[in-house]
Amino acid sequence: MSASEDTPTSPGPLVIGAQGSFAAGGTVVITPGVFDPVNPTDPAGQTLHGDHVRVSYQIPADALALPLVLWHGYGVDGTCWDTTPDGREGFRDIFLRRRRAVYILDQPRRGAAAKTTVAAEVTTATMEQMWYTQFRFGVWPGFFPGGQFPADPAAVEQFFRSMVPDTGPIDTEVIVSGVSAAFDRIGPSVMVMHSHAGGFAWLTAIRNRNVKAVIGLEPGSGFVFPEGEVPPPTDSGTGPLAGVPIPVDDFEQLTCIPIVLYYGDNIPTERHEVAGLDNWRVRWQMAGAFVDTINLHGGDAKLVSLPEIGITGNSHFAFADLNNRQIADQLSQFLTEKRLDEGTVSNKPDPRGSDE
C-alpha cells in the first residue's frame, strides 16, 4: 500500500481563493395570465423554476487547471463528499489540499436542488438496513471483518442522517441536461461520479466536451454500449441489470477521454443470497464489459478492483471509508498518469456567467 500524499493528523489550514454556489440548467413552468399583487395566491402569471442542478464550489488559492466535479449517487446529496460519517475529512477537503478546485453537485430534485417541476411522494419508508447492507458496510447489524466503513454506531447514525429523499421523479433528460449546463459553467474539468450517477454521467460526458476524464466510484447502473453490442441482461438478487444501447457515434465520444472505474471489497463472484451484495456481482461484471467495449473501440478505460491491488475492505462509499486518503491517492495517480494535473488557474468563474 502506498503512503498517503498528505498527513491525515494535522493537515493545517485550507487557503481558499474563492468559494460559492450557483444553480445551472433547469426548466420553468408558467401559468398563463397576469400576476395580481392584490391577490398573490392566484397562480395566474406566476412561474416555477425547478429541475436545476445546484453547484457548490471551492477553489484553492493555488489551484491546478482542471477542477474535479463530484457527483453523488442515489439517496444522498453533495454532502457525501464533505465530512465523513466519523468526522474525518472527505474527498472535498482532501482534494482541495491537493490543489484541486472542487465543484460539488446536487442533482436535480435532491438536496439544495430539490425544487422540482414534477412532484414525487417523499418516502418515509423504513429501509436503512437495506441500504446499509447494499452499501456493503456489512450485513446488518454486522460489519465486515477488516471492513473500512467506520464501525461506530455514531458514524452509522451520521450516515443515515446524511441521506435525503428525492422530491421529484428520477428523469434522465432532466438530470443530464442540468449537469451538462453545470459543466458549461465550470469549464474543462474531471468528473468524479459515484454509483447511481453512472448512466447519467456517461450521457453527460458524451454531450459535454468540458468533461475531460471520468473517474467512476462503483457506478451501478446505466452502462451504455453501442447498439448491437449490448451484452445480455443479467439477473441479481436486486433484479435484472441491462445495458443501455446508444448510437455508436455517441458511444465513441467516450473513447476520447481517459476513464477509470474503481470497485471495493466484499463483492461476491457467485450468486449470493444477500440481495444487496449480489447486486454488485452483476454490476462489476457489466463494468468489465463496458470497459472492454470502450477499449475495443480505441478508448482508454480501466477497471480497478481495489482488493486485487491490495486495498481491502472498502465499502460502496470508499471515498468516506477509513482509508479514503489511500483511495484518493489512487485517483491522484490516475490524474498524474493521464496528465490531468498540469497547469494552474487563478481566476474565479462568474457564478452567473455565460459559457467560457
The verdict on 40 binding a copy of itself (CB under 8 A) reads yes
Among 1, 2, 7, 29, binds a copy of itself (CB under 8 A): 29
Give the β-pairing of 234-236 and 239-241.
antiparallel
Contact criterion met (CB below 8 Å) for 263 and 305: yes
Q: Residue 109 class from Cβ within 10 Å (0-12 exposed, 13-18 middle, 19+ buried)?
A: buried
Using DSSP, state whether 3 is helix, strand or coil: coil
Q: Minimum CB separation from a copy of itself for residue 193, in Å?
A: 19
Q: Minimum CB separation from a copy of itself for residue 268, in Å?
A: 13
**Cα distance between residue 350 and residue 328, in whole Å:** 29
Among 54, 98, 136, 325, binds a copy of itself (CB under 8 A): 54
The verdict on 147 binding a copy of itself (CB under 8 A) reads no
Q: Which of residues 232-271 bind a copy of itself (CB under 8 A)?
A: 237
Q: Which of residues 284-343 bind a copy of itself (CB under 8 A)?
A: none
Residues in contact with a copy of itself, total (CB under 8 A)?
Answer: 87
**Cα distance between residue 347 and residue 223, in whole Å:** 36
184 vs 250, which CB is nearer to a copy of itself?
184
52 vs 98, which CB is nearer to a copy of itself?
52
Q: Which of residues 164-223 bind a copy of itself (CB under 8 A)?
A: 164-165, 167-168
CA-to-CA dists, residue 9 to 1, 6, 13, 21, angstroms: 19, 9, 12, 29
Contact criterion met (CB below 8 Å) for 97 and 14: yes
**Cα distance between residue 7 and residue 29, in whole Å:** 50
Nearest to 285 by CA among 189, 344, 190, 220: 220
The verdict on 43 binding a copy of itself (CB under 8 A) reads yes
Q: Minimum CB separation from a copy of itself for residue 101, in Å?
A: 13
Using DSSP, state whether 30 is helix, strand or coil: strand
197 vs 230, which CB is nearer to a copy of itself?
197
The verdict on 119 binding a copy of itself (CB under 8 A) reads yes
Q: Which of residues 120-139 bind a copy of itself (CB under 8 A)?
A: 120-130, 133-134, 139
Peptide bond preceding 141 in cis form (omega within 30 of 0):
yes
The verdict on 48 binding a copy of itself (CB under 8 A) reads yes
The verdict on 346 binding a copy of itself (CB under 8 A) reads no
Nearest to 257 by CA among 355, 339, 344: 339
Q: Minimum CB separation from a copy of itself for residue 145, in Å?
A: 17
Among 67, 68, 79, 177, binds a copy of itself (CB under 8 A): 79
DSSP 125-171: ---HHHHHHHTTS-STT---TT-SS---HHHHHHHHHHB---SS---
Among 2, 8, 161, 356, binds a copy of itself (CB under 8 A): 161
Among 3, 232, 240, 273, binds a copy of itself (CB under 8 A): 273
The verdict on 27 binding a copy of itself (CB under 8 A) reads no
Among 4, 5, 6, 46, binds a copy of itself (CB under 8 A): 46
185 vs 212, which CB is nearer to a copy of itself?
185
Contact criterion met (CB below 8 Å) for 182 and 22: no
142 vs 247, which CB is nearer to a copy of itself?
142
Contact criterion met (CB below 8 Å) for 158 and 180: no
* Cell 489540499 found at: 97
Among 8, 87, 233, 343, binds a copy of itself (CB under 8 A): 87
